[in-house]
Structure 1
Amino acid sequence: MKRARILLDGTVHAAVEEEGRLRLSDGRLVALDGDGPETVTWLPPVEPRTIFALGLNYADHAKELAFKAPETPLVFLKGPNTITGHQASTRRPADATFMHYECELAVVIGRTARDVPRDRAYEVVAGYSVANDYAIRDYLENYYRPNLRVKNRDGCTPLGPWLVDAADVPDPMNLSLRTLVNGRVTQEGSTRDMIFDVPHLIAYLSSIMTLSPGDVILTGTPEGLADVVPGDTVTTEIEGIGSLVNHIVPDSITANR
């Protein structure tokens, strides 16, 4: 099942996809694109608690950046302020000369978990979503330690549109992903090329700290990064999970969150 959260008439609604439309928890059906009398604002499909982000988790991406692939997961944390929804806008800092997208499989934890063995890791997954974890290359001091300005800016990580139930994704480690900028494909890859797969990440993280429902793991991005500028529309897609659209705006414009 594909689940979503939307804002309609000033009220937040849980919704599910039904025959190309949204079925709200109150029973109403509304259009996905907001055409007609309803104006739908997409929210992130979950309200994240802790957000774990993986750096250099695809060997081709590490090579693209002239880095050696890490021997253990390279993990940093992000604040909930970074998350925004489908069809939202993200600001490009006025002084940035290189801001790039990162198409990533997002893993959403479904229950409290500590010291989860690898062979039981999928049992704690609620579902999967698409993330686009923008980075501002200018502010990066060290790829192994992304600083606050690189990865924790307001609205710098679109998430959605859907949370797809784990039961509906039989093999999350064999999904194609790609990014399009203004309709042109600029990035292609597959989750099978992760250095540390989803079970490994869950086992590793839960050995360090307790995972809780709503925690999100952003699993990294493959090679194919490109600069994006105000006016660009960036679409990140993952097979069977969804297509997430985001719009780049100047820093002078307040981006919707």
Structure 2
Amino acid sequence: MEKWSRFDHNGDIKFGKLSSDNMTVTVCNGDMFEASTETNEVLAVNDIKMLSPCKPSKMIALWNNYKALADEKGLSYPDRPLYIFKSPTSFAGPNDHIEHPTNYDGDVFFEGELGIVIGSTVKDLDNASDAKNAIFGYTCINDVTAFGLLKNDPNFDQWTRCKGFDNFGVFGPCISTGLESKDLKIRTIINDSDVKQNYPVSDMMFTTEEIVMYLSQNMTLYAGDVICVGTSLGLGPMEKGSKVTIEIDSIGSLTNTYG
């Protein structure tokens, strides 16, 4: 397993591999997704600013992909993944502030999720094995949503609007490779102690490989693209001033403040 990060060090944007104790990072040259080489430069994590671990061309967010949440809401299971896009201006990283949208006075929800990071250009995949090879690794996601806007127009559910505000597509702190996604669990913790979500990835309707395969049949996926695989029970509104942490074992903790 490797943990890849992107960071700012004295104004220079770099990437590298985190140590097993997450205390240092070895700076790399080249391209994270193709030919990268380690340098002799090792930096303390306390001396850098962690950024979102990659720069996606797009972020795709699945809806209704967990059986427990679908059962609670009385939703049928879809035949193929259902999804929307989050705008590039929504992308944010560790410790970035999640702002309450201007001219909106409703609740803003957290949604702790697993994120798939694509490692190569793929299109029209037809089997899970090829899809697995296209997955570079996994990251933590907070798929922030202003649900009060969803039904503003009775003729059209406004998913893109309520999920697309600046800093509403939070991911990080790193990309972990070599993981079996079905073994992972997602936890959302408010103010360090209040556990709001704690659910297994194994409850998904579609595996991560199936998700990549199906989406590649609709569009070209590029290295660095991020797929939010959906959330499960426990999502809820954030209070202004609260600290929100999305935690996944073997990946890490993604923490942001809201308000």
TM-score normalised over the length of structure 2:
0.86
Aligned CA-pair RMSD: 1.9
Residues 76, 145 of structure 1: 8 Å contact kept:
no
Within 5 Å, give how 1:1-257 maps onto structure 2.
1-18=2-19, 19=21, 20-25=23-28, 27-32=40-45, 34=46, 38=47, 40-93=48-101, 95-116=104-125, 117-141=127-151, 145-165=157-177, 168-169=178-179, 171-183=180-192, 184-249=194-259
Identity %: 30
User: Alpha-carbon deviation of 1:146?
Assistant: 4.1
SS of the residue 1:77 aligns to: strand
User: Alpha-carbon deviation of 1:68?
Assistant: 3.2
Alpha-carbon distance between aligned partners in 1 of 2:40 and 2:71, rounded to the nearest angstrom? 50
Number of residue-to-residue matches in the alignment: 240
SS of the residue 2:217 aligns to: helix
Q: Which residue of 2 aligns with 1:253?
A: none
Q: Cα deviations across residues 164-200 of structure 1 (Å, max 9, x unaligned)?
A: 12xx21x112211110001211111010001111111
Q: Cα deviations across residues 59-100 of structure 1 (Å, max 9, x unaligned)?
A: 222344443333321111122211111111101236333211
Residues 211 and 156 of structure 1: is their aligned pair in 2 closer, same or farther, counting only changes over 3 Å?
A: same
Task: Structure 1 unaligned segments of length 5 or more: list them.
Answer: 250-257
TM-score normalised over the length of structure 1:
0.87
Task: Structure 2 unaligned segments of length 5 or more: list them.
Answer: 29-38
Q: Cα deviations across residues 219-250 of structure 1 (Å, max 9, x unaligned)?
A: 0011101210221000001121111101102x
Residues 111, 236 of structure 2: 8 Å contact kept:
no
Residues 96, 136 of structure 1: 8 Å contact kept:
no
Residues 6, 13 of structure 2: 8 Å contact kept:
yes
Residues 190 and 96 of structure 1: is their aligned pair in 2 closer, same or farther, counting only changes over 3 Å?
A: farther
User: Alpha-carbon deviation of 1:31?
Assistant: 2.9
